[in-house]
Amino acid sequence: MFPSADSFVRSSIAAGLLAAALILAPCAPAQEPSEHASGPAHPSELRVFDPSLIDKSVDPCENFYRYSCNGWFKRNPLPPDQALYGRFTELFELNRLHLKQILESTAEAQLDSRNANEQKIGDEYASCMDIAAINKLGVKPLEPELDRIAALQSIADLPAELARLHQIGVDAFFGIVSNQDFADARQVISFYGAGGLGLPERDYYTRTDPKSVEQRKQYIDHVRKIFLLAGEPEAQAARDAETVLALETRLAKASLTVTEQRDPQNLNHPTDVAGFEKQLTNFKLAAYVAVIHAPDAGKLNDTEPKFFAEFNALLGDTPLDQVKTYLRWHLIHTFAGTSMPETFDRETWNFYSHILNGAEKQQERWKRCTSRIDDEMGEALGQVYVDKYFPPEDKQRALNMTIAIEQAMARDIDSLDWMSTETKVKAREKLHTVMNKIGYPDKWRDYSRLEIVRGDALGNQERARAFEFARDLAKIGKPVDKSEWLMSPPTVNAYYDPQQNNVNFPAGFFQPPFFSDKEDDAANYGDMGSTIGHELTHGFDDQGRQFDKDGNLKDWWSREDEQKFNDRAQCMVKQYDAIEAVPGVHLNGKLTLGENLADLGGLWLAWLAWLDKAEAAHLDMNAKMEGYTPAQRFWIAYAQQWCTQTRPEQLRTQAQTNPHAPDEYRTNSVLQDLPEFGKSFNCKKDAKMVSATPCRVW
C-alpha cells in the first residue's frame, strides 16, 4: 500500500483518533511484511507458547524479552525487503499466501464461472500483476488528470479540481471524511482535517537535528526524480521539488502534532457550511461540496482551524503555477506504486521504504498486489477467506474469551482503591455496553457499483478509491451504523472504536502464533487474552475515557477521579520518556500513553481472567508442562508475541511517529510494572525486570 494514499483517513482520523489499533494501521508500507523464505509453511508449525525459542543463557529477571525471543531471533534473520519482521508479520505472510491462492484462482478461472465479486478481485489482481502492460502505458493513464490541473485558469477553479482529486484518493491540502458527531454519537457529519504532506507527519518538516535536515534534502531529491520521470526538464524538476517542500512546510507548521491529535478535544470545532465558508475566503466551499456530493447534515467539524486558516492564506498569496506544481506532485505520488511503471514504483520504494525505514529489497509484486486488493476490496476478498479459514467454532471460542476478560475488568473496576463509587458505576456501565465484534461483518459490503476492468490497473485504482470515498460520504446525515468494520477480515490486527464503544477482532488474528485450540489456557490468555484486554482498556485510556458509553465526547469523571487517573498516567509518561530507542531519540511518553496503558491494563486483565479459570479448573500451579509452570507459560506466551527484528531506521521512524512503543518495551517495560511477573520467576527485588516504583492505572 502506498504511503500517503489515505493518510488522512488512516493516520489523522481513523487510526489516530477513532480506532486505537493494536499495531500500526496496516497500510503503512514499512510495516508490511514480505518475503521470508525460511518461514514456516503452515500455521500449525507456529506455536503460541514455544519453549524452543527460549534462551536459557539469559536471566529472565534481567531481560525477559531476550530470554523469551532469542531463539526466534536466531531462526529469523531480518529479510532484506523488510524494515521490521516479527510474529505479526509471520502470520501476515501466511495469510497473504492464502489470499494469493484465492486471487490467483479467481484471476485464472473461466470468466463465466465467477460471481460478481470474484470477477472484480480476480481481474484487479490480474491487472496489477501485468507489469509489462503498465510499463508500456507509461504516464498515459494519468494524462487526463494532469491535463485538468494544467487547465486551471485561476485559484477560483481550485475547489472543483481539488474535489475531483480527493475523489480518486489524492491527499492534497486537506481531507474530508464522514464521522460521528462528537457531541451526538447517533448522527454522522463531515470532518474536515489537515493533510497534504508527502513526508510521514508534520514534525519531519520542523525538526532541526542533522538527520532530519538530511531527510528533507533526500525528500526534495525524491520529488525531483519523480518530476523528471514524469517528463519535466531537469531545471524545472529541481525548482518544482523546492516548491513542493516550501508549500508542504507551510501546511505542516499549521498542523497539529501527532501528540496533540491524540486529544479529541483538540479536534473538536463544530461549525456549519456557512460558518466554515466564512473562514475560507479564497476557497469556494460550495463549489467543492457540489462535486464531492457531501450531504449537508446541518453541522460539520473543522478539526484544525489553524490549519485551514493557513490553507486559506496560502491560496491568497501563492502563484497559481506553484499550486499546480503541488497538485501535480500529489497526483503522481498517489499512484506511483503498483499502478505505474517500474521506474516510478522503484523510486517511491527507494525513498519511503529504503531511506526512511531501511528496507534493502523491494517486496515481490504479488505481495504488493495482494495487499492492494485487500485494501481496495477487503470484504469481497474477506468473504472467500472467512469461508475457507475461519470456522464457526473459532468465532465462538474467541467470543467466550472476550466475555471472560470483560468479566475480569468488571471485577477490576470494583477493586480499584483510587476510583470513587460514582465513577465506578459509570465505568461499569460503559464496560457493559461494549459491543464485541468477532471475525467478520454480519452484513457484507456491496461492491456492485464498483467497476473493475481487466488491463486498466490505474483506472481500477482510481475507481476503487472513488467508490470508497463516495461510500464514506454517503453516510453523512444518516444514523450511525455500528456494524461496519474498519479492518478487513484477513487482517492480523484488532482495534477499539471509542466513538462506537466496540472492540473489533478480525478473523485473521485468531490463529497461531496468537491463538490455538491445541495450547493450554495459560498460553492463550497470555497471548490473545492480553490483546483482548488491550483493546478493552482503550475504552478507558487517556483518549477513550473521554467518551461516554454511547460514544459521545462527554466527561463522565469526577474532578477528583480525573486527577487521580492523570497522576497515575503521568507515572507511565515518565517511564517511557526515559527510554532511548535509538541514540539521540527517546520514546514520546505522551504520544504512546494510550497504547502503554492498554498494554499494561490488558495484560493485567488477561492475568485476572486466567487465574479465575485456573482456579475453577483446580489447576495445580506448581505442575510443570514442557518444563514451565502455568504462570511462567502465561508470561512467556505474552512475551513471544512481540519477538520482532527492527532496522534502526524503522525504529527511529517508529519512535517519532507511532503511538505504540517498540516491541521490546511492550514486553519488558510492561512486565516491570507487574510484581506478579517477578514472583513467577522468583526474581530478586533489585532485578532489572522488577520496578521499585511500578506504575499502575487499571
Point out which span in 14-22, 100-108, 485-493, 548-556 binds Zn ion (CB under 5 A).
14-22
Q: Which phi and psi (to 5°) does residue 496 adopt?
A: -110, 135
For the CB of residue 19, give the shortest distance to Zn ion in the complex, in Å: 9
d(CA 454, CA 460): 8
Point out which span in 20-28, 283-291, 434-442, 574-582 binds Zn ion (CB under 5 A).
20-28
- The CA distances from residue 28 to 15, 375, 514, in Å, are 11, 11, 22
Q: Which amino acid is at 549?
A: K
Stretch 90-109: interaction string toward Zn ion, x if CB under 5 A: --------------------
For the CB of residue 430, give the shortest distance to Zn ion in the complex, in Å: 17
Comparison of 175 and 498: residue with beta carbon closer to Zn ion:
498
d(CA 618, CA 144): 71
Comparison of 24 and 608: residue with beta carbon closer to Zn ion:
24
Comparison of 280 and 593: residue with beta carbon closer to Zn ion:
593
Comparison of 22 and 587: residue with beta carbon closer to Zn ion:
22
Point out which span in 19-27, 188-196, 238-246, 275-283 binds Zn ion (CB under 5 A).
19-27
Comparison of 543 and 680: residue with beta carbon closer to Zn ion:
543
Tell me the torsion sign for CA atoms 335, 326, 137, 234.
negative
For the CB of residue 548, give the shortest distance to Zn ion in the complex, in Å: 20
For the CB of residue 659, give the shortest distance to Zn ion in the complex, in Å: 8
- Should residue 15 be labelled a site residue for Zn ion when binding is judged by CB under 5 A? no
Distant-in-sequence, close-in-space partners of 562: CB < 8 Å, separation ≥ 6:
555
Stretch 577-606: interaction string toward Zn ion, x if CB under 5 A: ------------------x--x--------
For the CB of residue 538, give the shortest distance to Zn ion in the complex, in Å: 6
For the CB of residue 542, give the shortest distance to Zn ion in the complex, in Å: 12
Comparison of 20 and 413: residue with beta carbon closer to Zn ion:
20
Comparison of 141 and 602: residue with beta carbon closer to Zn ion:
602
User: Does residue 10 contact residue 25 with C-beta atoms inside 8 Å?
Assistant: yes
User: Does residue 493 contact residue 26 with C-beta atoms inside 8 Å?
Assistant: yes
For the CB of residue 531, give the shortest distance to Zn ion in the complex, in Å: 9
Nearest to 262 by CA among 561, 657, 655, 667: 657
For the CB of residue 599, give the shortest distance to Zn ion in the complex, in Å: 8
- How many Cα atoms sit within 13 Å of 673 on the Cβ side? 25
The only residue of 1, 15, 17, 20 in contact with Zn ion, by rule CB under 5 A: 20
Comparison of 166 and 666: residue with beta carbon closer to Zn ion:
666
d(CA 230, CA 224): 10
User: Does residue 257 contact residue 656 with C-beta atoms inside 8 Å?
Assistant: no
Comparison of 303 and 658: residue with beta carbon closer to Zn ion:
658
For the CB of residue 631, give the shortest distance to Zn ion in the complex, in Å: 25
d(CA 466, CA 647): 36
Comparison of 22 and 380: residue with beta carbon closer to Zn ion:
22
For the CB of residue 534, give the shortest distance to Zn ion in the complex, in Å: 6
Comparison of 369 and 655: residue with beta carbon closer to Zn ion:
655
Nearest to 104 by CA among 384, 420, 403, 521: 384
Report strand pairing: 188-194 vs 300-302.
parallel
Distant-in-sequence, close-in-space partners of 415: CB < 8 Å, separation ≥ 6:
none
For the CB of residue 22, give the shortest distance to Zn ion in the complex, in Å: 5
Point out which span in 21-29, 326-334, 552-560, 576-584 binds Zn ion (CB under 5 A).
21-29
3-state secondary structure of 54: coil
Nearest to 446 by CA among 419, 474, 415, 427: 474
Q: Which phi and psi (to 5°) does residue 450 adopt?
A: -95, 120
Point out which span in 17-25, 84-92, 124-132, 683-691 binds Zn ion (CB under 5 A).
17-25
Length in residues, the chain: 698
User: Does residue 332 contact residue 344 with C-beta atoms inside 8 Å?
Assistant: yes
d(CA 672, CA 670): 5
Comparison of 118 and 535: residue with beta carbon closer to Zn ion:
535
Q: Which phi and psi (to 5°) does residue 585 adopt?
A: -120, 115
H-helix or E-strand spanning residue 647 = none
Restricting to residues 415-434, which ones interact with Zn ion according to CB under 5 A?
none
d(CA 387, CA 168): 31
d(CA 450, CA 348): 28
Comparison of 301 and 537: residue with beta carbon closer to Zn ion:
537
3-state secondary structure of 85: strand
* # residues near Zn ion by CB under 5 A: 4
For the CB of residue 535, give the shortest distance to Zn ion in the complex, in Å: 7
H-helix or E-strand spanning residue 305 = helix 305-317
For the CB of residue 682, give the shortest distance to Zn ion in the complex, in Å: 31
d(CA 675, CA 684): 11
Comparison of 311 and 496: residue with beta carbon closer to Zn ion:
496
Point out which span in 16-24, 130-138, 189-197, 294-302 binds Zn ion (CB under 5 A).
16-24
d(CA 419, CA 566): 12
d(CA 669, CA 671): 6
Q: For residue 330, what is its C-alpha cell?
A: 500529489
For the CB of residue 641, give the shortest distance to Zn ion in the complex, in Å: 13
Binding site for Zn ion (CB under 5 A): 20, 22, 595, 598
